[in-house]
Amino acid sequence: MSNKPVYFVGDVDIHNIDNYKGYMEKVKPIVEKYGGEYLTRGGPMEALETNLWSPTRMVLLKFPNKQAALDWMNSEEYQPVKKIRQENSSGTMVLLEGI
């Protein structure tokens, strides 16, 4: 497996912001435990071309490598937090290898 940095790109449409806030509070320390860092978290954006999809709320994380990102996504402590996200939003999540 490559040791290049990996970017987690998420586009999230929040359906219940009150419940989703619990996810936002709990996820950051778990991401950091696995070497991840937030580069942006739902900040202002301008969609320049939307032929394939229209983004909603973008989140960008950087991990040291793909294994670290997968370890976070599959970690035991993340699963109940992930469930909060899935129950209160819908989204698309992608891992993108850096250079």
CA dist., res. 33 & res. 8, Å (int) = 15
- Domains in the chain, ordered, with CATH? 6-44+56-97 (3.30.70.100)
pTM, 2 dp: 0.93
CA dist., res. 26 & res. 35, Å (int) = 16
Per-residue pLDDT of the chain (99 residues; tens, 9 = 90+): 689 999 999 999 999 999 999 999 999 999 999 999 999 999 999 999 999 999 999 999 999 999 999 999 999 999 999 999 999 999 999 999 999
CA dist., res. 34 & res. 24, Å (int) = 16
- Residue 1's SS3 state is coil
Sign for the CA dihedral angle at 66, 74, 36, 58 comes to: positive
Task: Give me 86's structure tokens.
Answer: 């899935």
- Is the separation of the CB atoms in 45 and 55 below 8 Å? yes
